[in-house]
């Protein structure tokens, strides 16, 4: 953003978010990119665009970064095992995993490459491990190791299984430290953040988008690029973009997850997952950075 604008512009009466646009009758303020949502995806996109020299503002309806899904997850760095072979998701997960480990090491972000075991407790599940390994290899995850029950128990003595599949490149991360690093990089490159600033409406134009944002200091912006990184609210945001084809807006299928914590010493040093079930990965055990 221009040097006369503060980077954190939400809630302090300063900077872009504090500017009233009712008096800008002849000219609408314009930026290169508006990003909706300051979760981990919005922050990563803001960082990359700002470092590429784009003028970026991130609008976020909450009071801080990463207050919803980005703070309510198991903080796992996934290997890229299950995604459809050849899909964008599969390619991005595999390349992103490698990039994320590098980024964590370079920025001192707490993380651990602890690995994951997918365990089989029946003959049918043991056979399924072979197909999971083959699918992972098709995605470029070529380090999967098929273990006998005895070999798995050498790694995890408390484990009860017939066989297991080891994913050495799976890990865990301190997601909040990661988001702070992303925000720091984005702001250092000139990105601005407007908190308490929900998107109300957007309209596609011949030159990009017009964006109306609410909050205590409403604003209207024109931008070349509008990025929807609103997490669970992304489909609702998409429906508020005039000119967005309805058939391109996916249906959101929400599922409630439950977490149980163990106050005693963790019995495992790897993440432990069952053979996946239809509709999900099953009940699994994950570790956090505190062990």
Phi-psi region of 201 (alpha: psi -120 to 50; beta: other; left: phi over 0): beta
Percentage of residues of the chain with pLDDT beyond 90: 79
CATH no. of 76-173+262-274: 3.30.9.10
CB 165, CB 132: distance < 8 Å: yes
Residue 12 neighbours by CB under 8 Å, 6+ apart: 6, 18
The distance from CA 201 to its chain's CA centroid, rounded to whole angstroms, is 24
Domain with CATH 3.50.50.60 in the chain: 16-71+176-248
Domain with CATH 3.30.9.10 in the chain: 76-173+262-274
Superfamily per CATH, domain 16-71+176-248: FAD/NAD(P)-binding domain (3.50.50.60)
For residue 158, give the nearest of 267, 266, 264, 261 by alpha carbon: 267
**Per-residue tokens: 108:** 């001192």
**Per-residue tokens: 234:** 């992304």
Stated pTM of the model = 0.87
* Confidence grade of residue 8 (pLDDT, cut at 50, 70, 90): low
Q: What is the pLDDT of residues 46-91, one digit of tens each?
A: 999 999 999 999 999 999 999 999 999 999 999 999 999 999 999 9
* Confidence grade of residue 230 (pLDDT, cut at 50, 70, 90): very high
**Measured between alpha carbons, how far is 151 from 267 in angstroms, rounded to an integer?**
17
Q: What is the pLDDT of residues 108-134, one digit of tens each?
A: 999 999 999 999 999 999 999 999 999
């Amino acid at each position: 953003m221009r040097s006369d604008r503060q980077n954190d512009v939400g809630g302090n009466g300063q900077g872009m978010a504090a500017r009233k646009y009712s008096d800008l009758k002849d000219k609408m303020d314009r930026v290169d990119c508006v990003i909706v949502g300051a979760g981990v995806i919005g922050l990563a996109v803001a960082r990359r665009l700002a470092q590429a020299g784009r003028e970026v503002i991130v609008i976020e309806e909450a009071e801080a970064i990463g207050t919803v899904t980005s703070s309510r997850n198991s903080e796992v760095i996934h290997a890229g095992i299950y995604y459809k072979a050849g899909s964008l998701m599969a390619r991005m997960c595999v390349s992103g995993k490698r990039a994320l480990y590098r980024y964590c090491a370079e920025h001192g972000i707490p993380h651990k490459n602890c690995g994951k075991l997918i365990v089989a407790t029946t003959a049918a599940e043991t056979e399924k491990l072979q197909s999971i390994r083959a699918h992972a290899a098709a995605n470029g995850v070529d380090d999967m190791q098929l273990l006998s029950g005895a070999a798995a128990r050498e790694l995890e003595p408390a484990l009860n299984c017939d066989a297991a599949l080891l994913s050495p490149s799976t890990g865990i991360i301190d997601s909040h430290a990661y988001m702070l690093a992303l925000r720091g990089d984005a702001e250092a490159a000139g990105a601005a953040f407007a908190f308490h600033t929900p998107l109300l409406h957007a309209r596609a134009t011949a030159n990009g988008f017009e964006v109306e944002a609410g909050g205590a200091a409403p604003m209207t912006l024109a931008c070349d690029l509008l990025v929807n990184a609103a997490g669970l609210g992304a489909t609702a945001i998409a429906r508020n973009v005039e000119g967005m084809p309805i058939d391109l807006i996916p249906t959101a299928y929400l599922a409630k997850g439950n977490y149980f914590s163990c106050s005693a010493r963790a019995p495992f040093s790897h993440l432990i997952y069952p053979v996946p079930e239809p509709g999900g990965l099953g009940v699994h055990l994950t570790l956090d950075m505190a062990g």
